[in-house]
Amino acid sequence: MQNLSIRRLLNNKIVWLYIFSGGLLLCTGLLGLFLSSVTVPVPTILHIVLEKIVGMGWLQEVPKNEEMIIWNIRLPRVVLAFCVGASLALAGAAFQGLLRNPLADPYTIGVSSGASLGAVLVLFFQVSIIGLGSFTLPVVAIISGLITLIVVFGLVQLSSRSLAIETIILAGIIVSSFIGALVSLIISLGDKDVMTQIIYWLYGSVGMRGWEYVQLIIPFMVIGTIILFYHYRELNALALGEDAADHIGVNVKKGKAFILVGASLLTGAAVAVSGSIGFVGLVVPHLVRLVIGPNHRHVLPLSLLTGGTFLILADLLSRTIIAPKELPIGVVTALIGAPVFAFLLIRERMGGRG
Amino acid sequence: MIKIENLVGGYTNSPILTDVNLEIHRGEFFALLGPNGSGKTTLFKMITGQLPIQSGNILLSGKEISSYSKLEKAKKVAVLTQEIQVSFDYTVEEIISLGRYPHQKGMLKSLSKEDHYIIEEVMDITKISNFRKTQFRKLSGGEKQRVLLAKALAQEPELLLLDEPTNHLDIKHTFQLLDLLKERQLSKGLTIFSILHDLNVASLYADRFALLHNGTFIEVGDVELLRKEEQLQKVYQVKVNAQSHPTVPKPQLLMTPNYTKIKDKINFTDSYEMTQYENLTHIQFAEPLRTISNGAFGDGIQWLKHFCIASDENLLKKYGIPYEQVGCMASTDNIMVTQNSHMMAVVGEEKGSFNILLFIDGHFSDGELVNGFMALTEGKMQALKNLSMNSTDTQLLAATQQGRKVSAGEIREFVFNVTTEAISRYLQMI
């Protein structure tokens, strides 16, 4: 009897956490649409969003410029911030689980450096592929991210048949540092303008991107998310070590390969559209684990929601603190993330989980 | 259940196992014995598929083991190894539910009602229900191992492979874990194939044994395998003596270390001290003696240092004589001590019965000790018979285990003389 009620309570707690995270996401999103230099009333915002998405507006007249600001500038920015934050946090949770290393983050594996290299090359040569125009940069970044994934994979395969974890980490580090050196080389060769542009891009930003970028990241995000959600049990099993996972019937090699590909797709796409935004992928999964425990069944979806919320909030701060100028979003993520993380860590130490 | 035929394999270059044949029947507890490096773990890894088979077959329920998919195999075979590291703070219940992995179906793969039922059941069996919400890393070694056993049982396996499951557990947790396994074997017909380091523990729990040495089986058989001292000595290179467990009809092995304490030969007459208290005579030797006795304390065959004749056992405490190291018998203070160069007898008389402590400076095997004891009795009975008296009392024979052998005849004669004298003194007194 007692056990049953405890479990019901816990189930409730989990349900409430999902509701809370979802609600927080909606509120933050709305806040992101509301707060800016031009103030649009909340009902108008809701009207515009609903009208555009499901054709269910109730207001008769909405000023054209307000519609422009909300639909073409702010909403894509908020949605993109959500997508990037969600992808990075989800990828981070998966990498930490896969590599059984709390220090792993989406950038450990080197795919993000590859995407950065593609973007930096585009900026350096100022090229634009015919038919893509300004869209050249993210496309090239994604492609070079995927090429890097193949290189890392090849390196791991050649040196360890079983995709040993140490080898994955080492291959990631080798590839990242090599590509990092290339990026530095390019920066040092460029003139001052290009240099500034590159460095700003590397800081990361979700502003001034428009719906095209959202369209670009969404397919990768959906595929990556499905792959990872499907493999949550393998991630749990891998916590016991690979041998023990094998003993309970997990196809360890296949599982690892899928998780690696899923998480890399998410990371590569996120970096391609926004630059390398740090801290989200490292810290959000830890925050989620502190609250809900390590079971990936809940860690993955909650990391996705929380990561998205977190980045919308970080973006909001980055553009309002010293408006009209903007702070690099990566600076903000670390500035908010680190103290929150420290606080939770201390609280955990004092009071235990839950 | 599992059949291994002409198996060769191991790490790529040189095979560790050569020509291994073995059949394990359904429902038996099979122990795989052998020193480190003999190939026990290699054999296990070949069964679990972690190492390749170079030639030969492993058949699981009559089917080639490599033809099973990982999931099919995990439904039949579970593995429990030495303690494993778990990353992140998983709770006990979460760890155990991983054991349901091979049984989960459907797109969502969440835990079904049946899964929950089985998880509850295995937690009950392994007595870990109470800390289901505790984090795994906070448990003690014995509890961790029980959790991992519960996880293995949650797979509902037909065969359980154990790789030194009790390796760093204390005796309490070792026996607790093995009792659990044995219970499961007997009640559910679980087949257990276990690598065990401790031969004595293996002897108590396993039904059949295989002794692996340098990659081949020296012998496969029942518990009598553990009585073959020479064979074990050859494999383990430790001097072993097989003895019988006092209450369970199984052999237990006693190991003798290679180092020996260098002892000077002690002069027998100087090697003890005798103290007479009121109602108690205490004889203390510098080194323990090998003794055989049917006395009130220290009966059977033992190593003892203290000996006494006391009218009341509470006197031992009074004079600070350790209970555990004493050979003692009841008698009055009517004591007679007789000694020659290599034998010393203490005879205590009470109402016409005679208790004898006989100390001998000589070397006796256990069998010779029994012979000596019989000679002691014979000598005493002969003396009593000549004088037409009857006595069925206690006696003790203790040997210094140094020097020469002492024959039964010598003992009989000495005891006869001593007893005769004691009787004549007794007769004078009354």
B130 in contact with A at a CB cutoff of 8 Å?
Answer: no
Confidence band, pLDDT 50/70/90 cuts, at residue B347: confident
Say yes or no for a CB contact (<8 Å) between A248 and B109.
Answer: no
Out of A236, A251, A353, whose CB is closest to B98?
A236
Residue B247: which residues within 8 A CB-CB, separation 6 or more? none
Q: How many angstroms away from the CA of B79 is the closest CA of chain A?
A: 6
- Tell me, what's the pLDDT at A224? 94
Length of chain B: 430
Task: Enter the tokens of residue B63.
Answer: 């089917």
B79 in contact with A at a CB cutoff of 8 Å?
Answer: yes
**Once rounded to an integer, what is the mean pLDDT over residues B143-163?**
91
The residue to which tokens 């049990």 are assigned: A233
Q: How many angstroms away from the CA of A189 is the closest CA of chain B?
A: 44
Locate the chain B residue with the closest alpha carbon to A246.
B70
Q: Is the pLDDT of residue A352 over 60?
A: no
Top-confidence residue, B132 or A3 = B132
- Tell me, what's the pLDDT at B108? 65
- Tell me, what's the pLDDT at B12? 67
Ranking A56-60, A76-80, B147-151 by mean pLDDT, the lowest is A56-60
Task: Enter the tokens of residue B244.
Answer: 């019988």
Q: pTM of the full predicted structure?
A: 0.81
Out of B101, B110, B129, whose CB is closest to A237?
B101
Out of A102, A248, A289, whose CB is closest to B101?
A248
What sign for the dihedral angle of Cα A197, A200, A202, A208? negative
Summarised one tens digit per residue, pLDDT across range B60-86 is: 988 888 889 888 999 999 998 876 778
**Once rounded to an integer, what is the mean pLDDT over residues B178-199?**
91
What is the H or E stretch that residue B208 is in?
strand B208-213
A289 in contact with B at a CB cutoff of 8 Å?
Answer: yes
Say yes or no for a CB contact (<8 Å) between B110 and A297.
Answer: yes
Q: How many angstroms away from the CA of B90 is the closest CA of chain A?
A: 6
Locate the chain B residue with the closest alpha carbon to A291.
B89
Summarised one tens digit per residue, pLDDT across range B156-175 is: 999 999 988 888 888 998 99
A97 in contact with B at a CB cutoff of 8 Å?
Answer: yes
Q: How many angstroms away from the CA of A239 is the closest CA of chain B?
A: 5
Q: Is the pLDDT of residue A6 over 70?
A: no
Using a CB-CB distance cutoff of 8 angstroms, which residues of chain A are in contact with residue B104?
233
**Once rounded to an integer, what is the mean pLDDT over residues A50-75?**
81
Say yes or no for a CB contact (<8 Å) between B104 and A233.
Answer: yes
What is the H or E stretch that residue B283 is in?
strand B280-293
Ranking A105-109, B56-60, B314-318, B399-403 by mean pLDDT, the lowest is B314-318
CA B358 to chain CA mean position, Å: 31
Say yes or no for a CB contact (<8 Å) between A294 and B104.
Answer: no
Q: How many structural domains comprise chain A?
A: 1
Locate the chain A residue with the closest alpha carbon to B89.
A294
Confidence band, pLDDT 50/70/90 cuts, at residue A87: very high
A243 in contact with B at a CB cutoff of 8 Å?
Answer: yes
Q: Is residue A116 one of the residues assigned to a domain?
A: yes
Say yes or no for a CB contact (<8 Å) between B98 and A248.
Answer: yes
Cβ under 8 Å to A: B residues 151-180: 151, 155
Question: ipTM for the complex?
Answer: 0.81
Q: Is residue A7 one of the residues assigned to a domain?
A: no
Q: Is residue A235 one of the residues assigned to a domain?
A: yes
Q: How many angstroms away from the CA of A247 is the closest CA of chain B?
A: 6
Using a CB-CB distance cutoff of 8 angstroms, which residues of chain A are in contact with residue B88?
97, 102, 239, 289, 294
Measured between alpha carbons, how far is B228 from B325 in angstroms, rounded to an integer? Answer: 32
Q: A110 lies in which domain range?
A: 19-351
**Once rounded to an integer, what is the mean pLDDT over residues B129-149?**
88
A347 in contact with B at a CB cutoff of 8 Å?
Answer: no
Top-confidence residue, A235 or A352 = A235
A295 in contact with B at a CB cutoff of 8 Å?
Answer: yes
Q: Is the pLDDT of residue A261 over 70?
A: yes
Measured between alpha carbons, how far is B279 from B130 in angstroms, rounded to an integer? Answer: 57
Using a CB-CB distance cutoff of 8 angstroms, which residues of chain A are in contact with residue B99?
248
- Tell me, what's the pLDDT at B332? 65
CATH code of the domain containing A291: 1.10.3470.10
Out of B89, B91, B98, whose CB is closest to A237?
B98
Measured between alpha carbons, how far is B169 from B280 in angstroms, rounded to an integer? Answer: 45
Interface test with A, best of B41, B95, B101, B108 (most A CBs within 10 A): B101
- Tell me, what's the pLDDT at A110? 84
Q: Is the pLDDT of residue A36 over 80?
A: no
Q: How many angstroms away from the CA of A146 is the closest CA of chain B?
A: 28
Q: Is the pLDDT of residue B294 over 90?
A: no
Q: Is residue A8 one of the residues assigned to a domain?
A: no
Confidence band, pLDDT 50/70/90 cuts, at residue A200: confident
What's the one-letter identity of residue B128?
A: I
- Tell me, what's the pLDDT at B390? 64
Q: How many angstroms away from the CA of B129 is the closest CA of chain A?
A: 10
Q: Which of A148, A107, A97, A134 is nearest to A271 (CA)?
A: A107
Q: Is the pLDDT of residue B406 over 70?
A: yes
Q: Which residues of B139-151 are buried (b: 16+ CB within 10 A; e: fewer)?
A: beebbbbbbbbbb
Q: Is the pLDDT of residue A93 over 60?
A: yes
| φ/ψ of residue B250, rounded to 5 | -135, 150
Q: Is the pLDDT of residue A227 over 90?
A: yes
Report how far apart the first and last C-alpha atoms of chain B are (Å, whole number).
78
Q: Do residues A217 and A80 make contact, with C-beta atoms less than 8 angstroms apart? A: yes
Interface test with A, best of B70, B103, B111, B144 (most A CBs within 10 A): B70
Measured between alpha carbons, how far is A191 from A128 in angstroms, rounded to an integer? Answer: 19
Say yes or no for a CB contact (<8 Å) between B90 and A248.
Answer: no
Peptide bond into A324 cis (omega under 30): yes
Q: Is residue A290 one of the residues assigned to a domain?
A: yes
B131 in contact with A at a CB cutoff of 8 Å?
Answer: no
Q: Do residues B364 and B404 make contact, with C-beta atoms less than 8 angstroms apart? A: no
Say yes or no for a CB contact (<8 Å) between B85 and A241.
Answer: yes
| φ/ψ of residue B389, rounded to 5 | -125, 170
**Once rounded to an integer, what is the mean pLDDT over residues B235-244?**
88
What sign for the dihedral angle of Cα A276, A278, A282, A287? negative
B104 in contact with A at a CB cutoff of 8 Å?
Answer: yes
Q: Is the pLDDT of residue A343 over 70?
A: yes
Q: How many angstroms away from the CA of B215 is the closest CA of chain A?
A: 23
Q: How many angstroms away from the CA of B297 is the closest CA of chain A?
A: 53
**Once rounded to an integer, what is the mean pLDDT over residues A231-247?**
90
- Tell me, what's the pLDDT at A351? 55
Q: Is the pLDDT of residue A1 over 60?
A: no
Percentage with pLDDT > 70 across chain B: 95
**Once rounded to an integer, what is the mean pLDDT over residues B329-356?**
79
Locate the chain A residue with the closest alpha carbon to B109.
A233
Percentage with pLDDT > 90 across chain A: 27
- Tell me, what's the pLDDT at A199? 85
Q: Is the pLDDT of residue A130 over 80?
A: no
Top-confidence residue, B373 or A9 = B373
B52 in contact with A at a CB cutoff of 8 Å?
Answer: no
Q: Do residues B219 and B204 make contact, with C-beta atoms less than 8 angstroms apart? A: no
Say yes or no for a CB contact (<8 Å) between B73 and A249.
Answer: yes
Measured between alpha carbons, how far is B402 from A107 in angstroms, rounded to an integer? Answer: 75
- Tell me, what's the pLDDT at A353? 44
Out of B87, B99, B102, whose CB is closest to A239?
B87
- Tell me, what's the pLDDT at B263? 67
**Once rounded to an integer, what is the mean pLDDT over residues B169-187?**
90
A248 in contact with B at a CB cutoff of 8 Å?
Answer: yes
**Once rounded to an integer, what is the mean pLDDT over residues A164-185?**
89
- Tell me, what's the pLDDT at A354? 38
Using a CB-CB distance cutoff of 8 angstroms, which residues of chain B are in contact with residue A102?
87-88
**Which domains does chain B carry?**
2-256 (3.40.50.300), 271-429 (3.60.70.12)
Q: Is residue A176 one of the residues assigned to a domain?
A: yes
Long-range contacts at B110-115 (CB < 8 A, ≥ 24 apart):
B110/A297
Average pLDDT over chain B, rounded to an integer: 85
